[in-house]
Amino acid sequence: MHERIAADCTRLPCPPPGFKKETDTDMPMEHKPIVPGWQPGTWRNKPVAQQPEWPDAAAVADAERRLLQLPPLVTPEECRALTAALAEVASGRALILQAGDCAERFTETASTEARAQLVETLADRLMTATGLPVVTIGRMAGQYPKPRSSPTEKVPGPDGPLTVPTYRGDLVNAPEPDSRDPDPDRLVEGYHRATATLALLRARSASADTRAATDVFVSHEALLLPFEEALTRYDGQSRAWYSTSAHLLWIGDRTRGLDQAHVEYLRGIANPVAVKLGPTTTADDVVALCQRLDPERLPGRLTLITRMGARQVGRLLPEMIEAMTRAGHPVTWVCDPMHANTTTTAAGLKTRHLDTMLAEVQQWLAAHRGAGSHPGGLHLEVTCDNVTECVGGRAGAVDEAQVHQHFLSACDPRLNPEQATELVLQTGRRLTGHRHTEPTASTPPKASAAHWRPYAQDRRADLTAAATSHTWTTPGCLEITRTAQPYPHHALDQVTAALDERPGGVLGSSVQQPGRYRRWRIGYLAPCLEVTAAARRMDVRALNERGRVLLPIVTQALSASGHLISTSPSTLTLAVPAPDDVLPEEQRSRRAGVFSALRALLAAFAAPDDAHLGLYGAFGYDLAFGFEPIALRLPRPDDHRDLVLHLPDELYVEDESGLIRYRYDFTVGDTTTAGLPRDSDSTRPAARPAALPPPPGQGAYAKIVRTAQERFMCGDLVEVVPSQVMYASCTSASDFYSKLRRRNPAPYELLFNLGGVEHLAGTSPEMYVRVTRDDHGRLWVETCPISGTVRRGRDAVEDSDHIRALLNSRKDESELTMCTDVDRNDKARICDPGSVQILGRRQIEMYSRLIHTVDHVQGRLRPGFDALDAFLTHMWAVTVTGAPKRAAMQFIEDHEQSPRRWYGGAVGVLRFDGTLDSGLTLRTAQIHDGLAAVRVGATLLHDSDPDAEERETQVKAQALMETLTGAPPATQPEPPLQTEATPMRVLLIDHSDSFVHTLADYFRQAGAHVTTLRAGLPPATLDELAPDLVVLSPGPGRPGDHGCLDLLDEITARGLPAFGVCLGLQAMVEHSGGTVVPLPQPAHGRPGNITVHSGRLLAGLPAQFTAGRYHSLHAVQVPDCYEISATTDDGVVMAIEHRHAPRWAVQFHPESLMTTDHHAGHRIITNILHLGRVSK
């Protein structure tokens, strides 16, 4: 399996003489370079957790010196092979099975063969179930130390409990009470034990008799840092530091502190590393850890092992996955379903339930399925001994009463081979339904170091591919040379962080919608030119020496567009004259103005074959007044700008295929930018922003609505979109932008440093204008007007209700219809007759807080019109102004409290190939010197509800204001769960129903242990299982068809609590002498409005709630021994409670999708478990 230790792999105090740091072009990309400022011992300068209190520091130092003289345990080449393997897992082309003992014992060296056989067998089962190669990683040959919660613990003694130092694993002390003092000699003994284990593994792999489907890499928790430091070696081949104690090291939830010693140690070694993430981890924590441990974003470098528990993983993991996707970290995701699901038996022993582990795996897979990410595999604690430490399993299942019988672990409970096999097989089956990537013929079904080496070589070739160049000359006699080269993903995040202080921008989309939106990002820093405009004045400024080279071309291009007020080597100022010609309405977009100058500039730089070079930036709201003049009432500040555009000469372009860096050099005559630095001045925003202006007064917006309604009545307006402003502090625009992208993904995500101390940062949901060119060279214009808004629900079911209400709303339909009719009118001005089409009508788009209805409109531009004509004719979208447009803009000017500046304008790019892409400046913070202004509006019609429209503006601002203020996002309330210490034992009787397993899952979510058996079981089964609660499931037919009445006799004789669902309620009624008859019309898959009258079963629910009904029969004569606690609106019995016996029942289905309102189903299950417990 493994090659011999590399001869040049030695422990050096520092890099060898003459060492030179590698550059971008000659660095092997899968090798992590030496980290500046890092040495194997720099962790000692950080706070360190989970270290034993060694009684003799000199003895520890002596043990470290001895370890320094010993050979490495693993080689860098093996570690690199594992990195390559994990990169395949991260991409969905392979899986991981990481397994082994909780705390490896020195005495287990002799059992290495059996332990390796178990891990390899589990990997083989996973590979067989999924058809994917499996990377096999053992928790062995070093998993000797263990983190502990307390430095001491109590153990039995001859005279009562003794307090002794905690057992921290064999690398520190022994489990026997008299051997608990930390012993530094064990560090050296651990090395020798690991050496023996690895020797046995290597011999086993080399044996011709072995039939292992995979070879085993080794791993352990990097807990004892003196041990790890002593085995850190410098590899001369890759010029990087490696831990040679194991192929993969991980740190746990207790040691992952960002500025603590364990993270400091892991960040400097080139091994693949992993971090365990518990339920206290946030998405921001994960991003920060990834940036610290994997700043180069190297595939296979970082694995995230989630151990959040079955109750938490479904809630916490999706946000983390989304954060990783946005941050561009190619992490490998692994599920540890054991650690966070530990419970305690009545006898005081730790245990874990297999059903709960499977529930966590299922939730983990569901989170990845929802995010479109790749689930990587499992991390398990297993033993080859037939222990009874965990509960569950099919063959010879262990229950809690048996846990003590063969509990051998010195620390945490482990799965026995049968339980581990069942967990792996169940996971494999679920993974098969999840897989995004099919195995290819070139992917062999093995995962050894030799197998993965070619993948490492291929990936290095991809990332260091030779740059390609292309040169052309523009109509303005400008020669442009473009160089394109693949580049690491982290480059865009570095650009983003630098935008706090340097001019530039990032544009992108996190939304994938076929035919409309795709995922992409483009970013740049230090543009060479800046173009600004205010009213009829345009300024062009060179931001560096490279811009100075271009200024003569710009001057030549603009000279015919207006009067040059001033020129210098770095700037020029142009006065654009007022138009003195009368043009037809169809030609209005050609009136002299700022856009005439922009059109001349675009022509000078024309590049038909380049899809990215152009002018990037922001277009202010006041630009519309050059197209549609109005009477200005609001004073504009001295620094007011209508337009800020940048000409970047270095672009980072990212899509699903990867990231490409494009560099442009310009030659004007004998002058060239080649060799000149790509730099710019930096400006730091104020550390303390100005005092916040007061928020809008309650009812102020509603007052504007009422004023607008008066104008609607007299016919001055059809619709209008006034806005109001909210304020917050913002000291880092890039941090705000990054968090906002995670919280509120959108098709137009933007961050621009507009110079000085002004930023725009936001996530806009709406396209403004997009112009593309078809295969025949014709230009097409697209828009996607949004109107019609409703708040997101608490869950998918409530989302569905809100969507239905939105689509059924005549008012919202009218809003969007008017917007689209105005939009079609804008296009008709410049498009071919008959080409304006509705591609999508009232389509739903969902965002983090809101649901919108959207139309998609397209038209083909008539010959003689260009992208700027399309941009101008839509200025500005009716969705941010109103109709008629000019009257609406005048109303806005007259009734808003301050100029809009950038709000309601657009951000985007005017490309030199004649196309453009732009989004409306919505859901965007205008940040000036640390003060963020968030402006939001609503579309008003004659039938608007003033108070509802004001609330809508507040909802629209919610995601931005929460992100600015640091408030946690509004989270969905968790279903109520059982909190009692001892889980209830539930026997679920299955009456051949199609919903029984969902019902069982609800009980398990509430903490119960559920056994499901088909109806007709022998009465003795009730005595054998001794359940705390018997549940009678729904089912077809009548109660007598399933022997329900006889079963209720047996339950009554034993005094067992019972709960009936649907058929179960009917059985209880008939058993007590009541009558069940058919409904006039069956209620199958129908929601019912349930009214609560009394009782404890439905405690905590509102007086009325919605529940799912699946029944043809109902109870009409309920015996007096039962109290009717709920009915439908037409009097059908929906819940009963026995007045004296522990019997309860519901006619509806608590597990139904239709019973999620107010989490009613979960609440009922929690209530019934509580009632069953207290009844005993």
Residues annotated catalytic, as ranges = 1062, 1149, 1151
Backbone angles phi, psi at 57, to 5 degrees: -60, -35
Q: DSSP string of 460-471?
A: HHHHTPPPEEEE
Q: Which amino acid is at 373?
A: S
Backbone angles phi, psi at 649, to 5 degrees: -120, 15
From start to end of 69-148, where are the E strands? 95-100, 134-139
Q: Cα–Cα distance between 1147 and 1115 in angstroms, integer? A: 9
Backbone angles phi, psi at 161, to 5 degrees: -60, 140
Residue 235, strand partner residues: 9, 240
Tokens of 252: 């746990």
Q: Cα–Cα distance between 914 and 771 in angstroms, integer? A: 8
Q: Give CA separation, 1175 vs 100, 486, 1172, in Å.
A: 43, 68, 5
Q: DSSP string of 432-467?
A: HHH-SS---TTS-S---HHHHHHHHHHHHHHHTPPP
Which residues neighbour 43 within 8 Å (Cβ) at sequence distance 6 or greater? 225, 229, 261, 262, 264, 265
Whether the bond between 876 and the residue before it is cis, its omega within 30 degrees of 0, is yes
Mark residue 326 as left, alpha or beta (left: phi above 0; alpha: psi -120 to 50; beta: remaining): alpha
Q: Based on the number of CB atoms within 10 Å of its own CB, is 446 exposed (0-12), middle (13-18) or buried (19 or more)?
A: middle
In 3D, which of 858, 877, 873 has the Cα closest to residue 778? Answer: 858
From start to end of 904-1042, where are the E strands? 906-911, 916-920, 924-928, 931-937, 985-990, 1009-1014, 1029-1032
Q: Torsion angle, CA of 975/978/981/987, rounded to 10 degrees?
A: -130
Q: Cα–Cα distance between 724 and 936 in angstroms, integer? A: 6
* Residues 1034-1058 as b or e (16 or more Cβ within 10 Å = b): bbeeebeebbbeebbebbeeeebbb
CA angle 209, 212, 217 (to 5 degrees): 120
Q: Cα–Cα distance between 721 and 701 in angstroms, integer? A: 11
User: In 10 A of CB 840, how many CB atoms?
Assistant: 14
Q: In what order do the strands lie in the sheet with 1104-1117?
A: 1009-1014, 985-990, 1029-1032, 1058-1061, 1143-1146, 1133-1138, 1122-1128, 1075-1092, 1104-1117
Pairing of strands 1058-1061, 1029-1032: parallel
In 3D, which of 734, 691, 729, 639 has the Cα closest to residue 931? Answer: 729
Residue 302, strand partner residues: 273
If you count them, how many residues does the chain have? 1176
Mark residue 719 as left, alpha or beta (left: phi above 0; alpha: psi -120 to 50; beta: remaining): beta
Residue 738, strand partner residues: none
Pairing of strands 342-344, 332-335: unpaired
Pairing of strands 468-473, 375-381: unpaired
In 3D, which of 205, 184, 235 has the Cα closest to residue 72? Answer: 235
Tokens of 25: 């072009």
In 3D, which of 792, 790, 798, 791 has the Cα closest to residue 1159? Answer: 798
